[in-house]
Amino acid sequence: MKFQQNDIITSRLALVAITPESLWSERLGDGLLGTITNAHVPLEWPPEHWELHVLELLIKRFADDPTELGWHRYVALRHTDKSRTLIGTLGGISQGGKAGGVRGRVLGAQRYSGQGVRCRRDEGAD
């Protein structure tokens, strides 16, 4: 498995930077997201609430402030055969120029129970 230089790797997960290229791929539905992220894209992709307006908002945020790059990530489950599967997204939320926390979405969290994925609703998350 080829990892991107800026991937954050744990024993069970890979956090892959969401980039303008990956967002445009999703927006256009060109089928290249798996190649861009080096991960299998499951049929149930995208996760709930990962909608067109979110993609467009991130594209705009990246264009307006390049420091946003790297704070928004795809969550990929790593497998023993070195492959990985996209299971969700997470991102840093700023509020008035200040860090405001992290929010994320995981595809059918129950499906990944016992595989190193634990979802919790944080105070203040919608």
Q: Which whole number is the average pLDDT over 30-39?
A: 96
CA nearest neighbour of 86 among 114, 111, 51, 69: 111
Inter-residue contact 76 to 37 (CB < 8 Å)? yes
Q: Say which amino acid occupies 3.
A: F
pLDDT, tens digit, 9 for 90 and up, residues 94-117 = 555 555 555 656 655 456 555 555
H or E stretch covering 97: none
Half-sphere exposure of 11 (CA within 13 A, CB side): 2
The candidate with the shortest Cα–Cα distance to 40, out of 102, 107, 95, is 107
Q: What are the tens digits of pLDDT across the range 47-80?
A: 888 899 999 999 999 999 888 888 899 999 999 9
In angstroms, the CA 109 to CA 111 distance is 5
Encoded amino acid at 17, one letter: A
Global pTM reads 0.78
What residues does 120 pair with on adjacent strands? Answer: none
**61 neighbors 55 (Cβ within 8 angstroms):** no
Mean pLDDT of 21-48: 94
Sign of CA dihedral 104, 95, 57, 19: negative
